Amino acid sequence: DTEVTQTPKHLVMGMTNKKSLKCEQHMGHRAMYWYKQKAKKPPELMFVYSYEKLSINESVPSRFSPECPNSSLLNLHLHALQPEDSALYLCASSRIRGLSEQFFGPGTRLTVL
């Protein structure tokens, strides 16, 4: 199984809502990542988890709150978002060392009204 799954596929939320994005992989990878991708741009790294611990936060606003409940799951909790946060949110996973190519999920298309 070389698949990373993400739910939901699409999400529309208001600026006062609280929602969560979910990501799952069963490749035994111990590194998981959240990226944000705006239209016609490359993905931008947001967070990195290693061995279920947050290792990198790329200065992301606190209205985005990541969580890694176990080695297969990664969540991104959203609260009080702004319209400019509308984007495709991609999850990825990789091995920790060696050839640590990242496998990406299909993404969640988020629209903030």
Partner 1 sequence: GEDVEQSLFLSVREGDSSVINCTYTDSSSTYLYWYKQEPGAGLQLLTYIFSNMDMKQDQRLTVLLNKKDKHLSLRIADTQTGDSAIYFCAESDPLSGGSNYKLTFGKGTLLTVNP
Point out which residues bind partner 1 (CB under 8 A): 4, 6, 31, 40-43, 45, 48, 50, 55-56, 90, 92, 94, 96-97, 99-107, 109
Write down the least CB distance from residue 110 to partner 1, Å.
13
Q: Collect all residues with Cβ–Cβ distance below 8 Å to 43 and sequence separation of at least 6.
A: 35, 36, 37, 90
Query: What are the residue ranges of helices labelled H in 14-99?
Result: none
Q: Could you tell me the two tokens for 72?
A: 């297969």
* Beta carbon nearer to partner 1, 82 or 100: 100
* Beta carbon nearer to partner 1, 55 or 111: 55
- Beta 108-112 vs 10-13: how paired, if at all? parallel
Q: Could you tell me the two tokens for 101?
A: 């190519």
Write down the least CB distance from residue 16 to partner 1, Å.
28
Write down the least CB distance from residue 111 to partner 1, Å.
13
* Beta carbon nearer to partner 1, 11 or 48: 48
The helix (H) or strand (E) run that includes residue 17 is none
